[in-house]
Structure 1
Amino acid sequence: MDIRLEQVGKRYDGLAALQSTSLHIASGQLVALLGPSGSGKTTLLRLIAGLLPVDEGRILFGGKDATRLSLRERRVGFVFQHYALFPHMSVFENIAFGLRSRPRALRPSNAEIERKVVELLELVQLAAYRDRHPAQLSGGQRQRVALARAMAIDPTVLLLDEPFGALDAKVRIELRRWLRELHDRTGFTTLFVTHDQEEALDLADRVVVMDRGRIEQDGNAEQVYGEPASAFVFDFLGRSNRLRGDVRDGVFSLPDISVTFPAADCPDGQADLFVRPHDLGLAAGNNGLRAEVDEVRRLAGRISLELAVPGQERRLLMDVSERELPLLPRRGEPIAVDLRRHRVFPVTA
């Protein structure tokens, strides 16, 4: 089932939680809504689910207007961050709940419910836990029960709100790999909300990066990380450095520093140059950006430097291999830095 948002917006007390937003999600895609707290990603997910009313625009499921339909009418499978399992029910009955609560005319027979739940227990690898209660399960197992319950109703789409947020790091990695495999087997159209960049980039077919109630960039992992569309996306995804300067005639320059950098796509005016730590290297001779070593750290075969650049408040982070830097520089030592790849964006209010 494909999903289409046409100029959808949501306001609270006159403030836009989600600005007028259009988005198309093709059937069978696994899409991450990624952004910091307050970016509008959970609001967007709940509008799609029917848990919040739309203030403007419309939402279509499979080409049909679903804007005024409830979550039940949309047949959406929704997985909450903290699972929302019924503590007094067994794993089996938690999964069966959505089927048993259907109107009598639409309710499957007990035999059909048994068959469906057993099938899902096998799918989520919890067949041996059918009679246990949520309190007897680990966090990862409870999350799998919540997913099975969402899938039991044969949903048109699966929506997950921070699905791994309550789990420790190791379990999160294992569970997201399992979710990817599960998605590939079932083919559900799936959206999940996360603020974890690694999670989104590793798991999703598409990453929709959000900030201040709007979509900043929509693309696959390689596009949003390697070709960021804005200063926000560059700074938000991964580790980055920022240098504040000016652009004139397609050239970026720093105050009181003679070295310049190309900025062909940036208009004239105050601008920020962004570069990732692994895209910095040692410059040959006296070429490159001059800086002073502030900190030196050795990290698992690599060397991490913090560099002070004249006129810049933020330190420049640089990651190099031990082979590239056989002799560790001392604190206060001058160093010349080469920017192998960078992006320049205009400073906006």
Structure 2
Amino acid sequence: MDSTILLFLLQDGITNGAIYALLGLALVLVFAVTRVIFVPQGEFVAYGGMTFALLQAGKVPGTAYMVVVFGIAALALELAQRRRALTLAATAREVAAKLLLPLVILAITLVAVRAGSGTLINVVLTIAIIAPIGPYLYRVAFAPIADASVLVLLITAVGVHLAMTGLGLVFFGAEGLRAPPLSAAAVPLGPIVATGQSLAIYAVTVLLIVGLYLFFGQTLTGKALRATAINRVGARLVGIRLALSGRVAFTLAAVIGAVSGILIVPMTTLYYDTGFLVGLKGFVAAIIGGLVSYPLTAAAAIVVGVVEALASFFASDMKEVIVFTLILPVLVWRSLADPHADEEE
């Protein structure tokens, strides 16, 4: 292997690592706020990428109808659980947020597809379609058991992953989808060439990380999420609604997943079940970060991407095994450093 090949591999590794960094940050965010190890994070990647690919092809994506189904389920559960406490105004708000909003998104999607919308509109529309699925999913699957143990929440997350994979097959079918590149530009960097798609991935990743940093540091909602992550009981005592924090965290995770899908679908064909493997690599980065450290998670994601790229060159048949083996020394080190675990009450 010469230096040129090494540079190409490093470029691929950093590009993939940037995507894994976004997924790892989303996993850390959701776990810190809700204690949910969010196994279905990869499904948002697949949904986002396939939604964007269909919009680019001039077709109505299945997720435009799926968001209506999720909204109706969340509304029905909300009305049933709070049937004796809801006022007329509160009922109107719930109907607007969980029924009218997805119907408006569906209507806009139908109009946009018929009018032949451009790439930028399709990007915005993809995010608008996928983002509400996050809070709807939280309301249906996780809010009713928000105080359960981490193990129960993990089992629920695995069940949600299986359900979302099945729904992906129903709404998208078994055929793979791929979109044209967001940019056809190419920038020569010595012996290698950085494509416009790679540059878009780097730029969007940096913007999202900076945006999250400003969100958590400068906004009231972001500070409320940080407080919830640090001490749930204390946050509740000072008036922070944990249910609202959970919905915001799941919304951000859905947006990050949708953006990640938009970025990778021009580079690889996505299927309804592709997201699980991609999400697992983000999970490896999140575990190396201890599910608490955002900078360490981002750095670990780059390492995961580079190791995957090098492994694909030297041992392509074993690259997945090599990537997932990275988690073992971290788990052994953490178990030796902190051998005692307190039981959850």
Q: Which has the higher strand share?
A: 1
Structure with bigger RCO (C-alpha 8 Å, 6+ apart):
2
Greater Rg over alpha carbons, structure: 1
Q: What's the TM-score once normalised by structure 1's chain length?
A: 0.24
Q: Which has the higher helix share?
A: 2
